[in-house]
Amino acid sequence: MVQPKEDRRIQRTRQLLSTALLKLIEERGYDSLTVNDITEQANVGRATFYLHYQDKEQLLVESLEEMFSQLEDLIAPLSETLGEEHYSTATRLLFQHFGDHHRLYRVLLTEKGAAMVFPRLLEIVSEIAEQIAGQDVISKSVEQPQTLISTNLVGHYVAGAFLGSVVWWLNNNKPYSAEQMAAVYVHLMDPGVTKVLGIASAELPELSDVFTGIVKLARSDKDDSW
């Protein structure tokens, strides 16, 4: 079905504003940006901006949701078969996404004005984790057998740990590849989360060097703080 010309014009305007905002954030940060800065970069009138968005915060949230919507489309098929391979692949895709847009997320996860982004990111990553987990699961813990665990709880737990790892990764200028970070993250989740979800544990190769490097960086940060 061919889209009406007006709809295409609206989509084009929104795309121009979104692209302008994300580009400016990478170049100048978020806190100091104004609507005028965004409209000038996009070559769109100020009045036109307010036809589509209330403020720059709404534009930012909707821009990020569009980015994650595309990512979710890639990850969604992985939820059909739960297993170590799919869990690791989904994690790698997430790290690659944040790595590809590292300048943007380094700003958004550190500047005060963009603090409202973190809860939304937590929610989005949690939703992806819930897709992979599927329905509520029965814990196989010996201490508390047959305990029903909500996937919403699992999703938020996994998302919180993931975003914490991303912040560390970006603040340390990505000392490891997305693949290495995904391997470390999955390893840290095993056997806790993977056991609860019933994901078969697998050997994760070449982790020793990565862990050694992380310890060295942590010690270096501690020494620098004195």
What are the pLDDT tens digits along the chain (226 aa)? 445 656 888 899 999 999 999 999 999 999 899 999 999 999 999 999 999 999 999 999 899 888 888 777 777 776 555 455 566 788 888 899 999 999 888 888 877 766 778 888 888 888 877 776 665 454 444 455 556 677 788 788 888 999 999 999 998 999 999 999 998 888 887 666 666 555 554 444 444 455 455 545 545 554 554 3
State whether the Cα torsion 103-109-112-114 is positive or negative.
Answer: positive
Residue where the block lists tokens 């814990």: 139
pTM for the whole structure: 0.73
Residues of the chain with CATH 1.10.10.60: 1-53
Amino acid at residue number 136: D
69-224, CATH topology level: Tetracycline Repressor; domain 2 (1.10.357)
CA distances from residue 42 to 6, 8, 18, 28, 121 in whole angstroms, order as listed: 19, 16, 8, 15, 25
Q: For residue 94, which of 118, 126, 125 has the smallest C-alpha distance?
A: 125
1-53 has CATH 1.10.10.60 classification: yes
- The one-character DSSP state at 76 is G
Residues of the chain with CATH 1.10.357: 69-224
Buried/exposed 53-86: b ≥16 CB within 10 Å, e otherwise: beebeebbebbbeebbeebbeebeebbeebebeb
